Structure 1
Amino acid sequence: MKIFGEVEPHVNYVYRPGAYGLLTREGQVGVVKAPLGYFLIGGGIEPEETDEACLIREGLEEAGCMLSVGEFLETVDEYVIVKGTEMAYHKRITAYRTEIVSCGHAQLETDHQLIWMDKAAAIEVMYLKGQAYLIETYV
């Protein structure tokens, strides 16, 4: 498994597994613009939740879109300290090919926006290096 980020000594990292979708259309990548930066659609898995259920929930919350979860791609780990906070996470990023079934549903996270950009631009702006790697590898 690939690992991104540096483990800082004396930092307590909170383990946070998540499921993320790689959205593509017409040569572009769908990413979510959030207050902290750009991310693949998806997020942290809730207790007793499957990867697929997590991605479907996150698609609705972040973009108001119903997603169809496809092929498993890869799992990577990343150690990250969130900018402007003292929160440190050991993120387990599990990625799947994902398609949009429909949009226009109620969006809970109104400060998130699904946008489309070319592969090179998406790689450049991703907040998590592990997610940039997944775009570079699978798009």
Structure 2
Amino acid sequence: MIFNTTRDKVLTVYTSRGDYFLPGGGIEKDESYQECLHREMIEETGYNISIGSFKAEAKIYFQSIKNEPLLNDGYYYLAALLDKLQEPIEEDHFMKWIDINDVEELLFHEHHCWAVYEGLKIERWQKCGR
């Protein structure tokens, strides 16, 4: 989860099908979660990131575009956007900041929305010095 400095927007990946996702994707052979996230960010956005600590895990079943049930297992980290390294590899993925108030309406997966709220809650708690 990457928030802007005022924590009122979250970075998403918008696809040519009209869907919004948190950046990330499937783990390849022998990859750690962090290595996967670095690779996926470069593929989807072209940007390097700094990964913070692990914040949440959530699983949800959904119907694939082939109408098959799939389990989406999400591991969520707070991260910061760094420098742009290259153009995105995935041509149908576009970086888009969305307003926190729109995550329920726009994010494709329910657990992505949940993770955004969890990330904000954790950040607010940390700001209180606890």
Interval containing the TM-score (normalised by the shorter chain): 0.7 to 0.9
Aligned to 1:103: 84
CA distance in structure 1 between the aligned counterparts of 2:47 and 2:103, rounded to whole angstroms: 20
Shift of residue 122, structure 1, vs aligned partner: 2.2
1:74 aligned to 44, 56, 64, which one?
56
Aligned to 1:46: 28
Shift of residue 30, structure 1, vs aligned partner: 0.5
What is the percentage of aligned positions where both structures have the same residue? 25
Q: Does 1:23 align with 2:5?
A: no
Shift of residue 137, structure 1, vs aligned partner: 2.2
CA distance in structure 2 between the aligned counterparts of 1:71 and 1:95, rounded to whole angstroms: 9
- Runs of 5+ unmatched residues, structure 1: 1-21
Residue type of the partner of 1:135?
Answer: V
CA distance in structure 2 between the aligned counterparts of 1:104 and 1:122, rounded to whole angstroms: 27
TM-score after normalising by structure 2: 0.84
Residue type of the partner of 2:30?
Answer: E
Residue type of the partner of 2:2?
Answer: L
May I ask how many residue pairs the two structures share in their alignment?
A: 117
Which one has a larger percent helix, Structure 1 or Structure 2?
Answer: 2
- Runs of 5+ unmatched residues, structure 2: 121-130
CA distance in structure 2 between the aligned counterparts of 1:110 and 1:122, rounded to whole angstroms: 23
Displacement over 3 Å in runs of 4+: none
2:71 aligned to 48, 69, 90, which one?
90
TM-score after normalising by structure 1: 0.79
Which one has a larger percent strand, Structure 1 or Structure 2?
Answer: 1
Shift of residue 104, structure 1, vs aligned partner: 4.8
2:94 aligned to 101, 105, 113, which one?
113
Indicate conservation of the 8 Å contact 1:123/1:136, yes or no: no
Indicate conservation of the 8 Å contact 1:123/1:135, yes or no: no
